[in-house]
Amino acid sequence: APIVVQATLGLGSTLLTAAGLGFLGLGVQQPTPEWGTMLGEGRTFIFSNSNLATFPGVAIFLTVLAFNLAGDGLRDALDPLFGP
């Protein structure tokens, strides 16, 4: 059970790492869409069209949050000795 929880929590970290590398231009190359690359390209147009940077950033945030909440829920469900 702890391996499943650790894997779920590690997915959020992996997603942030991939998005960070894509933002820096070191991730998946075009024409493959990737949130970090979209965020980096949208940075150029942040004042004229903020949606190009806002939506990939929100998608990254919500996905990492979902993985972390799922990992916490799995930990609570699979470890009866943890918590109150």
Report pTM. Answer: 0.87
pLDDT tens, residue by residue, 37-65 = 999 999 999 999 999 999 999 999 999 99
Check whether 1 has a pLDDT greater than 70: no
pLDDT of residue 4: 85
CA torsion 22-24-58-75 (nearest 10°) is 70
Cα-only R_g, the chain: 16
CA distance from start to end of the chain: 19
Give the residue-averaged pLDDT of 14-20.
96
- Domain extents for the chain? 2-78
b or e along 1-31 (b: 16 or more beta carbons within 10 Å of the residue's beta carbon)? eeeebeebbebbeebbebbeebbeeebeeee
